[in-house]
Structure 1
């Protein structure tokens, strides 16, 4: 699996530094799609969807924010989601097949999160939609949305969600296999592609000292493969990742170099790292610098300085081999 292109890696690092400064930190650690974080029974009903939204809202420390759930049906019928203590309750709405806003800011300062009724049948799609909606609300409440460049806003929603602890859910939502009449197709419920999402997840794990195996435990096949490659890259760039907290201005200014990915064994053995030249290297380089096309011994006899330098290097090599 390939890593993102360097411009995208730098964008991820630069935007991560900005979001960290705005408080994009996990409250519940790394959120996993299991019963520990989502204990409610899910039966694809509006009430079950409201419970999932309430859990996501709670895990992002936004439980006090007024949020309502709106389920859009193709028939134009109202669907009630039932009550919930967090305020994530469904309100009537009609669906006419047109695109709709995922999140709407209400006049009272609250938010309306809308999902299509068809999304209730796909837990990964639904959960990803809720995570991105809550991430947008976080960016809005933190005052970051308007400060972002318009082209960066949608991918920043994914990145903020990852930094809030929802990286595994976002990664699984970035690469979804769907079977249809034409065979297996791949869909994405995110704006960032899977390679960028998993790199951001690997950076998150490194920042918060979360073992890679913990993140991989609930990753689907393709996101898992991408994450494994990303984890190798982050392990090869630990000093760089420290700058995200220690010197975010340097990250923002792109004042750093990226290191290539090297496996654990390569890092231990020093494989792939440019070493300092040895005496043998200097000797070879010196001999290569001598004039070509004529015998070297006469050439040395005509240049005492070169002859002395070569003798000195040979003596040092011999001494090194004998010691």
Structure 2
């Protein structure tokens, strides 16, 4: 009884918790654990992560895109940003993936006849940088997840949720939580001219995934809370404390490999 009395509040049900843990383990197994261990950082909407001055909307958009692509570990992927409607006919299926698909040593290519995958944007989006970063990240995560041959837990029906989770797995959980309901319409696929996104994970689910990332990366809770919207901070703290208590008893080898 005392254990229950002093247990942190659960912000999502047990089945959803288990899906997030299982899907995070799936992401570790499929999207290069060494990148998560050695390169991944918690990306914050600050000048530290998106520095510099620009002279135009296009220049700002491209700077944000390049930084986001690098943080996602997809710097080697043939994906470009364009301010007009994309005309490329290249599809995700045209990509050729090697054994390593993220980081500086990624093996991702197209045949010489194919042009890069194109993501479009509109100037109005760039005026809200955090939302723009979230949209780019979801598009990149969508390409990564769709190109993978192993479906996430739950199968095809759970691809939208898995894409949002992978964005958090890449380090963008704070930005995703802050923008969970900023966009309406669109999807996280390539060739999306508007670069809008529709959240597939709820705010509590996103916060739980963010807390899991932070604990696996040994990121202190106090360094994160101040960057979240005020109404999200209490639930983030609850999720963080809950996972902190339960992570050591996880039966997922992929998660235990990071905890140990």
Larger radius of gyration: 1
Q: Structure 2: how far apart are the matches of 1:148 and 1:66?
A: 29
CA offsets, 1:231-273, max 9 Å, x none? 121122132347352679xxxxxxxxxxxxxxxxxxxxxxxxx
Shift of 1:197: 0.4
Q: CA RMSD in A?
A: 3.2
Structure 1 residue aligned with 2:17: 9
Structure 2 residue aligned with 1:236: 245
Q: Structure 1: how far apart are the matches of 2:91 and 2:128?
A: 23
8 A contact 1:44–1:120 mirrored in 2: no
Structure 1 residue aligned with 2:106: none
The 3-state SS of whatever aligns with 1:237 is: helix
Q: Structure 2: how far apart are the matches of 1:225 and 1:93?
A: 41
The 3-state SS of whatever aligns with 1:214 is: helix
The 3-state SS of whatever aligns with 2:119 is: strand
Structure 1 residue aligned with 2:52: 40
Aligned runs of 1:129-148 on 2, under 5 Å? Answer: 129-144=135-150
Larger relative contact order, structure 1 or 2 (CA cutoff 8 Å, min sep 6): 2
Aligned runs of 1:284-323 on 2, under 5 Å? Answer: none
Which runs of 5 or more residues in structure 2 are unaligned?
Answer: 1-8, 95-112, 184-196
The answer to whether residue 228 in structure 2 is matched with residue 216 in structure 1 is: no
Which runs of 5 or more residues in structure 1 are unaligned?
Answer: 72-77, 79-91, 95-102, 178-187, 249-323
The 3-state SS of whatever aligns with 2:50 is: coil
Structure 2 residue aligned with 1:165: 171
Structure 2 residue aligned with 1:182: none
Q: Mark the CA change 1:127 to 1:10 in structure 2 (over 3 Å): closer, same or farther.
A: same
TM-score with structure 1 length normalisation? 0.57
Q: Structure 2: how far apart are the matches of 1:147 and 1:237?
A: 20
Q: Mark the CA change 1:41 to 1:144 in structure 2 (over 3 Å): closer, same or farther.
A: farther
Residue among 102, 112, 125 paired with 2:118: 112
TM-score with structure 2 length normalisation? 0.70
Q: Structure 2: how far apart are the matches of 1:56 and 1:216?
A: 21
Structure 2 residue aligned with 1:51: 63
Q: Structure 1: how far apart are the matches of 2:55 and 2:202?
A: 29
CA offsets, 1:47-105, max 9 Å, x none? 2111101101111221121112133xxxxxx4xxxxxxxxxxxxx559xxxxxxxx954
8 A contact 2:43–2:49 mirrored in 1: yes
Q: Structure 2: how far apart are the matches of 1:44 and 1:151?
A: 40
Shift of 1:153: 0.7
**Where is the strand percentage greater, Structure 1 or Structure 2?**
1
8 A contact 2:180–2:199 mirrored in 1: yes
